[in-house]
Amino acid sequence: MRRLIMLQILLLTLSSSRTAGQDIREYTVRKCLWPVEIDGRLDETDWQNAAFTEPFVKYQDGSVMSLPTRAKFLWDNVYLYIGFVCEDPDVWATMKNRDDHLWNGEVVEILCDPDGNSRNYFEVQVNPLNTVLDLLMDKPYSTGGNADLSWDLSGFKSAISVRGTLNNGSDTDTLWICETALPFSELAFTAMSMSFPPAAGDSWRILVTRYDYERTGDQTVEISSWNQTDSRGFHVPEKFGRIFFTDNSAVSASPAATHPSKIRLSDNYPNPFNPYTVWLLDADRACSVRIAIRDLKGNRVAVLREGSLQPGRHLLVWDGCDQKGRPAASGVYLVTAQAAGTVVSQKITLMR
């Protein structure tokens, strides 16, 4: 009888262990096919094809939140990219100084412990004003950990866009988006045994979270996270979600992507130019293509074409304006044409 009881206890323990393991959410992070510009839009082809996480839940018990939040991940050899989409009828923020206590207002957070050992993990917060807080934890608060607010994640990038009007309570907003880029070069100290950038097949432990405060009334707060933790709050590394890196692109593979397309870009005419210049683009087969104008710092100025391209010769025209139709300043720019497996670019000069 005693052996039977012990066996039942063992089976219950194993069953409980398996159930707990199922609580850890997982996400496969696909590699970027195109460059990502941190502009708060998530409108690049890779972002559009990247999967969303499950909706964030109440961190203590996993219950559904009234204001949905989801995230997406991408990576390349330089950055881990994370994009947040936060539904919100009133987007607001007041804190403007780096390392202000952003958790006292609307904010999204990233807590990352790559090797999952609960040591030297970091946290980054961004509010709708694009104010940043970053800190380093030696260990979780529940085990006597301390937050080092003097630590900065050098090279971190973020940008915000709002569907509505920031800090205007007289209208109804829809959502706000936070786009971030975490540089692998600055993270190696967190896990010396791991590779940075990661290799395909590597996995990290990470938690993405959100605070939402009502600006008026009783200032009700909703605190949610991708993965359920427990009463200890967000700083529970063993409860962080798990991400897996893959070399597969978010953009669906096609025969044209399997065999690199050959594209050729003619010299533009005239060059220098004002206000128009033209090119001829030749493609040897159908492919997905992105043709963009960038300044010499790499910032995207305009997109001339994005999407599917049929084989043959195509005429490209740039009117010297940016994506919002405003005249670009005089100077030297780069036109870059990218298809699966091929990138061609050239310098052009705009003279006003």
Tens of pLDDT, residues 172-183: 999 999 999 999
Task: Say how far apart CA 221 and CA 66 lie, in whole Å.
Answer: 11
Q: 108-156: per-residue pLDDT in tens? A: 999 999 999 999 999 999 999 999 999 999 999 999 999 999 999 999 9
Write out pLDDT tens, residues 53-81: 999 999 999 999 999 999 999 999 899 99
Is 147 in contact with 138 (CB distance < 8 Å)? no
34 and 42 in contact (C-beta within 8 Å)? no
Judged against a pLDDT cut of 90, whether residue 10 lies above it is answered with no
Residue indicated by tokens 């870059």: 336
Q: What is the structure's pLDDT at 135?
A: 96
Q: Across residues 158-179, what is the average pLDDT?
A: 96
Mean pLDDT of 101-113: 96
| Mean of all residue pLDDT scores within the chain | 87
State how far the Cα of 73 lies from the Cα of 286, in Å rounded to an integer. Answer: 28
Band (pLDDT 50/70/90 cuts) for residue 93 is very high
User: What are phi and psi for residue 307, nearest 5 degrees?
Assistant: 130, -155
**Among 39, 105, 108, which Cα is nearest to 69's?**
108
> What ranges make up the beta strands (E) of the chain?
26-31, 57-58, 69-75, 79-87, 107-113, 121-126, 132-137, 147-148, 157-163, 175-183, 203-213, 221-225, 241-249, 263-265, 277-283, 287-295, 300-309, 312-318, 331-339, 342-350
pLDDT band at 23; cut points 50, 70, 90:
confident
CB 107 within 8 A of CB 131: no
Q: Enumerate residues 6+ apart whose C-beta is below 8 A from 217.
A: none
- Calpha distance 277→272 (Å, rounded): 9
Q: What's the pLDDT at 217?
A: 64
State what percent of residues in the chain have pLDDT above 70.
89
In the chain, what is the greatest distance between 2 CA atoms, to the nearest angstrom? 93
Q: How far apart are CA 322 and CA 300, in angstroms?
A: 9
**Size of the chain, expressed as the number of residues it contains:** 352
- Residue 1: the pLDDT is 44
In this prediction, residue 276 has a pLDDT band, given cuts at 50, 70 and 90, of very high
pTM of the predicted structure, to 2 decimals: 0.70
Amino acid at 19: T
Question: What pLDDT score was predicted for residue 252?
Answer: 59
| 3-state secondary structure at position 279 | strand
Domains of the chain (ranges, CATH numbers): 25-249 (2.60.40.1190), 255-350 (2.60.40.1930)
pLDDT tier at 308 (50, 70, 90 boundaries)? confident
